[in-house]
A and B are shown apart, each in its own frame.
Chain A
Amino acid sequence: MSLILLIEQVLNGLQFGIMLFLMAAGLTLIFGVMGLINLAHGSLYMIGAFCAAAVAGATGSFLLALIASLAGAAIAGALVELVVIRRLYDKDHLDQVLATFALILIFSEGTRWVFGSFPLFLDVPDFLSGPITLPGGIEYPLYRLTLIVVGLLVALGLYLLISRTRLGVQIRAGENDREMIAALGIDIAKLYTIVFALGAALAGLAGALVGAIQSVQVGMGEPVLILAFVVIVIGGIGSIKGALIGAILVGLTDTLGGIFLPEVMKLFFDPSTATSIGSSLASMAIYVLMAAVLILRPSGLFGARA
């Protein structure tokens, strides 16, 4: 176990975490402003990936593909908000869960109907492929490094959007006090559509970016969605900062756990048993992390106290 491997794995964990952040940020924003739990957020991630794969296939341009993912997911998000989601704000969580679960069924089967059951592939563009040599002589895939940078830029952009812009003021008002938005003369319906589309666009972008290192297929969104929930439970609902820190914690725990737990187990068991026990434990590591946070801080690291 060398230092280089360790740094490599930390970077992998960071990259995974940052992508989770893109999902979790949208979810937590939507919950914070509209009080809505959206299970269909994973479908928007999938839609982003499929839009990107389709456009990349047709034009060969990765940048166009990314734009398509943002636009496609945002449009899908806005449409869903207008047709279904806005009818759910006044309903209880059970109705929200069921309706957005129904949306998952519709989106997943709809995508399967259009694109078929076979995975699509989205290639890393030439100018981002291959390794890059980092200080200290570490070779690391340029594309993954780009993901980290892009994700951090998005996080910065979100921070500026919320703290510095008019839309940000409205969003913060919406999180604190629904009456106040009306008092400020803000068109609530429009604000909600915009916030939902923004969250959708972030999910779509994440889907496209990750789609280039994994396959693009139906059902790709839900495992990520559930991890994003773990992130939110850890970070605290409604907190973008919590989402970022929670996401990085989850990313690192999952990646490092997968590498190190089998190694640690080798101290106690023979190699094959150690690998099997270690990987079983690794698959549970983030949930153990979540349970620990729940015991210590039931409303998450940065959540408002219940």
Chain B
Amino acid sequence: MIRESYLNALTVLVLLAVPLWAVVADEPFTITLMTRAAIFAIAAIGLNIALGIGGLVSLGHAVFFGIGGYAMGILAHHAQTYTAVFEWPLLIEGTKSMPVIWLVAVVLSSLAALVIGILSLRTTGVYFIMITLAFGQMFFFFAISWAEYGGEDGLSIYVRNGFPGLNTLVPIEFYGLCLGVLLLVLVFAWRLSKSPFGLALNAARQAPVRVETVGLDPVRLKLVAFVISGAITGLAGAMFADLNRFVSPTMFSWQTSGEIMIFIILGGVGRLFGPVVGALVFVALEHWLGGLSDYWHIYLGLLLLLIVLFGRGGLIGMVSGRRAVHD
């Protein structure tokens, strides 16, 4: 058995070493895969705040991933066609600047999470799952019918957006940027889980009545967690769109919501590095199994089933032999 902290250190080592090796060995595709994993990890860390700490089983996080993606797609599309996003009531133009796009993505996905959260948190349990899934589908169909931005076909962006001081077209530089964001988000999630808010949220998941009796509002705690969670997943969506230079309604699909959840489960629910390990393993499986068989989802499904039925605690839990999550 390996201690969880060693496993976490190993994960960071993989995040650093594999891309560096890929640069030396001239394997740019490996860098792209690692970038993909890093961005998925960010999305899943977002969901893990709502799911792992707050106990909110959201099957609609694709909404935020998609909003982030479309924020990037729409702003960059207008910038590359030299048109304005809005001319009235005030002029808003497109942009190719990543920081600006990220800000817009975070703000819009927070707002969406606020509205969806207020509605969905009126209920709990299975209702919550079904409602978040339904809202996801609503955005999916809306994106499909939004002909102005490509409808079903989505939008292509020809040149990756820029970040001050970096050449984002060089794979390793863009990866470095994504890794930087991932590490920042990890630190944030770690601080949050230890913070007064995190402690209260954690208790709200386990014993909402208790939280209420000490004078705190469990629903409001969960709502704030849901908004933070949505904002982080939205940021990941904008980055994912930039990685592919393409957005489409698929980002809003229920499969996307399911995949973000799978990252967490593969790694381990409520564990800081669970989403990171899960995303790395998912991308590796997707690459290797996907190369072996067109039907690799069968194997993914079987693996997932085995983990749920027999290996609660995810891969980190299995390797470290520690089932309990919080301390």
Q: Report A-B touching, CB under 8 Å.
A: yes
Binds B, one of A54-62, A90-98, A120-128, A158-166: A90-98
Contact in complex: B130, A109 (CB < 8 Å): no
Say yes or no: is A37 at the interface (Cβ < 8 Å to chain B): yes
Contact in complex: A287, B301 (CB < 8 Å): no
Q: How large is the interface on B (under 10, 10 to 19, 20 to 34, 35 or more residues)?
A: 35 or more
Chain B residue, CB-CB nearest to A282: B145
- B298 touches which one: A109, A237, A294 (CB < 8 A)? A109
Binds B, one of A69-77, A184-192, A198-206, A225-233: A225-233
Residues of A in contact (CB 8 Å), total 45
Q: B327 CB to closest chain A CB, in angstroms?
A: 21
How far apart are the CA atoms of A294 and B124 in the complex, in Å? 12
Q: B281 CB to closest chain A CB, in angstroms?
A: 15
- A226 touches which one: B57, B137, B142, B309 (CB < 8 A)? B137
Contact in complex: B57, A94 (CB < 8 Å): yes
Chain B residue, CB-CB nearest to A31: B126
Take A97-B57, A229-B134, A306-B124 as given contacts and tell me if A105 and B129 are in contact as well, using a CB distance cutoff of 8 Å: no
Say yes or no: is A119 at the interface (Cβ < 8 Å to chain B): no
Q: Mark A279-299, 1 if CB is under 8 A from B, else 0.
A: 110011001001100110011
Q: Mark A171-188, 1 if CB is under 8 A from B, else 0.
A: 000000000000000000
Say yes or no: is A110 at the interface (Cβ < 8 Å to chain B): yes
Chain A residues near B302 (CB, 8 Å)?
102, 106
- B123 touches which one: A84, A106, A110, A306 (CB < 8 A)? A306
How far apart are the CA atoms of A295 and B297 in the complex, in Å? 38
- A298 touches which one: B122, B144, B258, B296 (CB < 8 A)? B122
Contact in complex: A98, B295 (CB < 8 Å): no
Chain A residue, CB-CB nearest to B309: A87
Say yes or no: is A276 at the interface (Cβ < 8 Å to chain B): yes
Take A87-B309, A94-B57, A226-B254 as given contacts and tell me if A280 and B133 are in contact as well, using a CB distance cutoff of 8 Å: no
Say yes or no: is B103 at the interface (Cβ < 8 Å to chain A): no
Say yes or no: is A152 at the interface (Cβ < 8 Å to chain B): no
Say yes or no: is B135 at the interface (Cβ < 8 Å to chain A): yes
Say yes or no: is A150 at the interface (Cβ < 8 Å to chain B): no
- B126 touches which one: A93, A226, A227 (CB < 8 A)? A93
- A284 touches which one: B127, B141, B301 (CB < 8 A)? B141
Say yes or no: is A99 at the interface (Cβ < 8 Å to chain B): yes
Chain B residues near A113 (CB, 8 Å)?
295, 298
Say yes or no: is A222 at the interface (Cβ < 8 Å to chain B): yes
Q: Mark A202-231, 1 if CB is under 8 A from B, else 0.
A: 000000000000000000001100110110
How far apart are the CA atoms of A306 and B300 in the complex, in Å? 36
Say yes or no: is B265 at the interface (Cβ < 8 Å to chain A): yes
Identify the interface centre among A87, A93, A222, A291: most chain B CB within 10 Å of its CB.
A291
Contact in complex: B138, A284 (CB < 8 Å): yes
Contact in complex: A106, B141 (CB < 8 Å): no
Chain B residues near A99 (CB, 8 Å)?
304-305, 308-309
Contact in complex: B308, A102 (CB < 8 Å): yes
Chain B residues near A255 (CB, 8 Å)?
none
Chain A residue, CB-CB nearest to B261: A98
Chain B residues near A291 (CB, 8 Å)?
119
Contact in complex: A283, B145 (CB < 8 Å): yes
Say yes or no: is A115 at the interface (Cβ < 8 Å to chain B): no
Chain B residues near A230 (CB, 8 Å)?
130, 134
How far apart are the CA atoms of A98 and B51 in the complex, in Å? 13
Contact in complex: B135, A93 (CB < 8 Å): no
What would 21 A/B residue contacts be, using CB atoms closer than 8 Å? Answer: A37-B129, A95-B308, A95-B312, A99-B305, A99-B308, A101-B304, A106-B298, A106-B305, A109-B297, A113-B295, A229-B134, A233-B131, A237-B126, A279-B145, A283-B142, A283-B144, A287-B134, A290-B134, A294-B122, A298-B123, A306-B123
Q: Report A's interface with B, CB cutoff 8 A.
A: 31, 37, 84, 87, 91, 93-95, 97-99, 101-106, 108-110, 112-113, 222-223, 226-227, 229-230, 232-233, 237, 276, 279-280, 283-284, 287, 290-291, 294-295, 298-300, 306
**A233-B130, A295-B122 known; 20 other A-B pairs, CB under 8 Å?**
A94-B57, A97-B59, A98-B265, A101-B258, A101-B304, A102-B302, A102-B304, A104-B301, A105-B298, A106-B302, A109-B301, A110-B295, A110-B298, A226-B254, A229-B130, A229-B131, A230-B130, A233-B127, A237-B126, A299-B127
| Minimum-distance CB pairs A-B, first 10 | A105-B301, A229-B130, A287-B138, A283-B141, A102-B304, A106-B301, A102-B305, A298-B122, A102-B301, A109-B297
